[in-house]
Structure 1
Amino acid sequence: MRTLCSSTLIGEFFVIGFAGLVAMKDDSLSMGTVWTVSGIAMLLCLLLCGLVTRPGGIALGWALQLGLIASGFVVPIMFFLGAMFAALWWASVHFGRKIDEAKARFAAQGDPAQADAA
Protein backbone atom coordinates (compact mmCIF):
# COMPACT_ATOMS: atom_id res chain seq x y z
CA MET A 1 0.00 0.00 0.00
CA ARG A 2 2.83 2.34 0.86
CA THR A 3 4.26 2.37 -2.67
CA LEU A 4 0.95 3.08 -4.40
CA CYS A 5 -0.11 5.76 -1.93
CA SER A 6 3.30 7.43 -1.99
CA SER A 7 3.26 7.53 -5.79
CA THR A 8 -0.12 9.27 -5.71
CA LEU A 9 1.14 11.76 -3.11
CA ILE A 10 4.26 12.59 -5.14
CA GLY A 11 2.04 13.26 -8.17
CA GLU A 12 -0.09 15.55 -6.02
CA PHE A 13 3.04 17.34 -4.82
CA PHE A 14 3.80 18.44 -8.38
CA VAL A 15 0.18 19.27 -9.23
CA ILE A 16 -0.08 21.48 -6.14
CA GLY A 17 3.11 23.28 -7.17
CA PHE A 18 1.78 23.92 -10.65
CA ALA A 19 -1.58 25.04 -9.24
CA GLY A 20 0.35 27.53 -7.09
CA LEU A 21 1.92 28.96 -10.24
CA VAL A 22 -1.54 29.34 -11.80
CA ALA A 23 -2.96 30.90 -8.61
CA MET A 24 -0.22 33.54 -8.65
CA LYS A 25 -1.92 35.08 -11.69
CA ASP A 26 -4.93 35.97 -9.52
CA ASP A 27 -4.47 39.62 -8.54
CA SER A 28 -6.63 39.21 -5.44
CA LEU A 29 -4.15 36.76 -3.88
CA SER A 30 -0.76 37.74 -2.53
CA MET A 31 2.24 35.70 -3.55
CA GLY A 32 2.97 35.00 0.11
CA THR A 33 -0.50 33.56 0.70
CA VAL A 34 -0.37 31.39 -2.41
CA TRP A 35 3.03 29.93 -1.56
CA THR A 36 2.27 29.51 2.13
CA VAL A 37 -0.83 27.46 1.37
CA SER A 38 0.79 25.61 -1.53
CA GLY A 39 3.97 24.99 0.44
CA ILE A 40 2.11 23.56 3.42
CA ALA A 41 0.09 21.28 1.13
CA MET A 42 3.24 20.18 -0.71
CA LEU A 43 5.02 19.50 2.58
CA LEU A 44 2.01 17.52 3.78
CA CYS A 45 2.25 15.37 0.64
CA LEU A 46 5.87 14.56 1.41
CA LEU A 47 5.21 13.89 5.09
CA LEU A 48 2.28 11.63 4.29
CA CYS A 49 4.55 9.44 2.15
CA GLY A 50 6.17 8.34 5.40
CA LEU A 51 3.02 8.33 7.51
CA VAL A 52 0.69 6.43 5.20
CA THR A 53 1.12 3.11 7.01
CA ARG A 54 0.78 4.62 10.49
CA PRO A 55 -2.51 5.11 12.32
CA GLY A 56 -4.36 8.10 10.90
CA GLY A 57 -2.18 8.30 7.78
CA ILE A 58 -4.96 7.29 5.42
CA ALA A 59 -7.38 9.72 7.09
CA LEU A 60 -4.87 12.56 6.67
CA GLY A 61 -4.57 11.55 3.03
CA TRP A 62 -8.33 11.87 2.63
CA ALA A 63 -8.20 15.31 4.26
CA LEU A 64 -5.56 16.30 1.72
CA GLN A 65 -7.80 15.05 -1.10
CA LEU A 66 -10.69 17.19 0.17
CA GLY A 67 -8.37 20.20 0.39
CA LEU A 68 -7.19 19.59 -3.16
CA ILE A 69 -10.77 19.50 -4.42
CA ALA A 70 -11.62 22.64 -2.41
CA SER A 71 -8.69 24.45 -4.04
CA GLY A 72 -10.89 24.49 -7.12
CA PHE A 73 -12.49 27.62 -5.70
CA VAL A 74 -9.19 29.40 -6.39
CA VAL A 75 -8.02 27.48 -9.48
CA PRO A 76 -11.14 25.98 -11.14
CA ILE A 77 -9.34 23.12 -12.92
CA MET A 78 -8.46 21.79 -9.46
CA PHE A 79 -12.06 20.62 -9.03
CA PHE A 80 -11.38 18.11 -11.81
CA LEU A 81 -7.77 17.33 -10.85
CA GLY A 82 -8.70 17.01 -7.18
CA ALA A 83 -11.46 14.55 -8.04
CA MET A 84 -9.06 12.56 -10.20
CA PHE A 85 -6.48 12.41 -7.42
CA ALA A 86 -9.17 11.44 -4.91
CA ALA A 87 -10.05 8.52 -7.21
CA LEU A 88 -6.36 7.63 -7.46
CA TRP A 89 -6.05 7.83 -3.68
CA TRP A 90 -9.00 5.47 -3.26
CA ALA A 91 -7.49 3.04 -5.78
CA SER A 92 -4.08 3.25 -4.09
CA VAL A 93 -5.54 2.46 -0.68
CA HIS A 94 -7.93 -0.22 -1.94
CA PHE A 95 -5.53 -2.11 -4.20
CA GLY A 96 -2.56 -1.48 -1.93
CA ARG A 97 -4.34 -3.32 0.86
CA LYS A 98 -5.09 -6.20 -1.50
CA ILE A 99 -1.42 -6.39 -2.46
CA ASP A 100 -0.40 -6.36 1.20
CA GLU A 101 -2.86 -9.19 1.92
CA ALA A 102 -1.48 -11.22 -0.99
CA LYS A 103 2.08 -10.71 0.26
CA ALA A 104 1.03 -11.86 3.73
CA ARG A 105 -0.61 -14.99 2.27
CA PHE A 106 2.52 -15.84 0.28
CA ALA A 107 4.69 -15.28 3.33
CA ALA A 108 2.40 -17.51 5.43
CA GLN A 109 2.78 -20.28 2.85
CA GLY A 110 6.49 -20.21 3.53
CA ASP A 111 7.71 -19.19 0.08
CA PRO A 112 9.68 -15.95 0.60
CA ALA A 113 10.51 -15.66 -3.11
CA GLN A 114 6.80 -15.39 -3.92
CA ALA A 115 6.23 -12.87 -1.14
CA ASP A 116 8.94 -10.59 -2.53
CA ALA A 117 7.69 -10.95 -6.10
CA ALA A 118 4.16 -9.86 -5.20
Structure 2
Amino acid sequence: MRNPKRVLAASTLIAEALVVFFATLAATALHREEQTSYLVAGGVVALLCVLCAGLLRSRAGYALGWVLQAVIVASGFVVPEAFRWTMVGIGVAFAGIWWGCLHVGTRVERERDLVARGLAERRPEGS
Protein backbone atom coordinates (compact mmCIF):
# COMPACT_ATOMS: atom_id res chain seq x y z
CA MET A 1 0.00 0.00 0.00
CA ARG A 2 1.20 3.50 -0.75
CA ASN A 3 2.22 5.86 2.02
CA PRO A 4 -0.48 8.59 2.04
CA LYS A 5 1.77 11.25 3.57
CA ARG A 6 4.45 10.66 0.93
CA VAL A 7 1.92 10.72 -1.93
CA LEU A 8 0.36 13.99 -0.72
CA ALA A 9 3.74 15.63 -0.07
CA ALA A 10 5.20 14.54 -3.41
CA SER A 11 2.14 15.79 -5.27
CA THR A 12 2.48 19.14 -3.53
CA LEU A 13 6.17 19.42 -4.42
CA ILE A 14 5.57 18.56 -8.09
CA ALA A 15 2.78 21.14 -8.32
CA GLU A 16 5.04 23.63 -6.57
CA ALA A 17 7.84 22.95 -9.06
CA LEU A 18 5.47 23.82 -11.90
CA VAL A 19 4.29 27.01 -10.19
CA VAL A 20 7.88 28.06 -9.44
CA PHE A 21 8.85 27.41 -13.06
CA PHE A 22 6.01 29.56 -14.42
CA ALA A 23 6.58 32.25 -11.79
CA THR A 24 10.23 32.33 -12.86
CA LEU A 25 9.18 32.96 -16.45
CA ALA A 26 6.89 35.78 -15.31
CA ALA A 27 9.64 37.34 -13.16
CA THR A 28 12.09 37.30 -16.07
CA ALA A 29 9.54 39.02 -18.29
CA LEU A 30 9.09 41.78 -15.70
CA HIS A 31 12.78 42.36 -15.03
CA ARG A 32 14.92 41.82 -18.12
CA GLU A 33 18.19 43.04 -16.54
CA GLU A 34 18.35 40.09 -14.12
CA GLN A 35 16.86 37.54 -16.52
CA THR A 36 19.71 35.01 -16.30
CA SER A 37 19.85 35.17 -12.50
CA TYR A 38 16.11 34.62 -12.19
CA LEU A 39 16.14 31.74 -14.67
CA VAL A 40 18.99 29.97 -12.89
CA ALA A 41 17.60 30.51 -9.37
CA GLY A 42 14.05 29.57 -10.35
CA GLY A 43 15.24 26.55 -12.30
CA VAL A 44 17.31 25.34 -9.35
CA VAL A 45 14.40 25.73 -6.91
CA ALA A 46 11.99 23.96 -9.29
CA LEU A 47 14.50 21.14 -9.78
CA LEU A 48 15.03 20.86 -6.02
CA CYS A 49 11.26 20.50 -5.57
CA VAL A 50 11.24 17.57 -7.99
CA LEU A 51 14.32 16.00 -6.39
CA CYS A 52 12.85 16.47 -2.92
CA ALA A 53 9.72 14.59 -4.01
CA GLY A 54 11.98 11.63 -4.71
CA LEU A 55 13.70 11.93 -1.33
CA LEU A 56 10.51 11.57 0.69
CA ARG A 57 11.37 8.00 1.65
CA SER A 58 13.48 9.46 4.45
CA ARG A 59 13.07 12.17 7.07
CA ALA A 60 15.70 14.23 5.25
CA GLY A 61 13.30 14.62 2.33
CA TYR A 62 10.66 16.15 4.59
CA ALA A 63 13.25 18.45 6.19
CA LEU A 64 14.38 19.58 2.74
CA GLY A 65 10.72 20.16 1.89
CA TRP A 66 10.42 22.58 4.79
CA VAL A 67 13.61 24.34 3.71
CA LEU A 68 12.20 24.70 0.19
CA GLN A 69 8.99 26.19 1.59
CA ALA A 70 11.04 28.85 3.40
CA VAL A 71 13.15 29.52 0.30
CA ILE A 72 10.07 29.99 -1.86
CA VAL A 73 8.46 32.40 0.63
CA ALA A 74 11.75 34.31 0.88
CA SER A 75 12.07 34.43 -2.91
CA GLY A 76 9.19 36.86 -2.92
CA PHE A 77 11.54 39.46 -1.51
CA VAL A 78 14.05 39.20 -4.37
CA VAL A 79 11.72 39.23 -7.37
CA PRO A 80 10.69 42.47 -9.07
CA GLU A 81 8.53 44.82 -6.96
CA ALA A 82 5.45 44.27 -9.14
CA PHE A 83 5.59 40.54 -8.48
CA ARG A 84 6.75 40.59 -4.85
CA TRP A 85 3.56 40.06 -2.85
CA THR A 86 2.18 37.62 -5.38
CA MET A 87 5.22 35.40 -4.91
CA VAL A 88 5.13 35.73 -1.12
CA GLY A 89 1.44 34.79 -1.24
CA ILE A 90 2.16 31.77 -3.43
CA GLY A 91 4.95 30.70 -1.07
CA VAL A 92 2.77 31.06 2.03
CA ALA A 93 -0.08 29.20 0.32
CA PHE A 94 2.17 26.29 -0.63
CA ALA A 95 3.73 26.21 2.85
CA GLY A 96 0.21 25.88 4.24
CA ILE A 97 -0.62 23.14 1.73
CA TRP A 98 2.65 21.38 2.64
CA TRP A 99 1.81 21.50 6.35
CA GLY A 100 -1.73 20.26 5.62
CA CYS A 101 -0.46 17.35 3.54
CA LEU A 102 1.95 16.27 6.26
CA HIS A 103 -0.69 16.64 8.96
CA VAL A 104 -3.47 14.81 7.09
CA GLY A 105 -1.09 12.18 5.72
CA THR A 106 0.20 11.37 9.20
CA ARG A 107 -3.35 11.10 10.52
CA VAL A 108 -4.40 8.80 7.67
CA GLU A 109 -1.35 6.57 8.32
CA ARG A 110 -2.17 6.37 12.02
CA GLU A 111 -5.83 5.54 11.40
CA ARG A 112 -4.95 2.96 8.76
CA ASP A 113 -2.63 1.25 11.24
CA LEU A 114 -5.37 1.22 13.88
CA VAL A 115 -7.83 -0.37 11.45
CA ALA A 116 -5.26 -2.97 10.36
CA ARG A 117 -4.54 -3.89 13.99
CA GLY A 118 -8.24 -4.13 14.75
CA LEU A 119 -8.81 -6.41 11.78
CA ALA A 120 -5.83 -8.57 12.76
CA GLU A 121 -7.23 -9.00 16.27
CA ARG A 122 -10.60 -10.14 14.90
CA ARG A 123 -9.18 -12.85 12.66
CA PRO A 124 -9.57 -16.35 14.03
CA GLU A 125 -6.34 -18.18 14.79
CA GLY A 126 -4.97 -20.38 12.00
CA SER A 127 -6.41 -18.39 9.12
Instruction: Using structure 2 for the length normalisation, give the TM-score.
Output: 0.79
- Aligned residue number for residue 27 of structure 1: 32
Structure 2 counterparts to residues 31-110 of structure 1, below 5 A: 31=36, 33-73=37-77, 74=79, 75-76=83-84, 77-110=86-119
Aligned counterparts of 1:38 and 1:103: Cα–Cα separation in 2: 38
Aligned counterparts of 1:82 and 1:46: Cα–Cα separation in 2: 16
**Bigger radius of gyration among the two:** 2
**% identical aligned pairs:** 36
Gaps of 5+ in 2: 121-127
The count of residues paired between Structure 1 and Structure 2 equals: 110
Query: Pick from 16, 20, 23: which aligns with 1:16?
Result: 20
* 1:101 counterpart letter in structure 2: R
> RMSD in angstroms over aligned alpha carbons?
1.4
Aligned counterparts of 2:49 and 2:32: Cα–Cα separation in 1: 27
Instruction: Using structure 1 for the length normalisation, give the TM-score.
Output: 0.85
* 1:51 counterpart letter in structure 2: L
Range moving further from structure 2, 90-99 or 102-111? 102-111
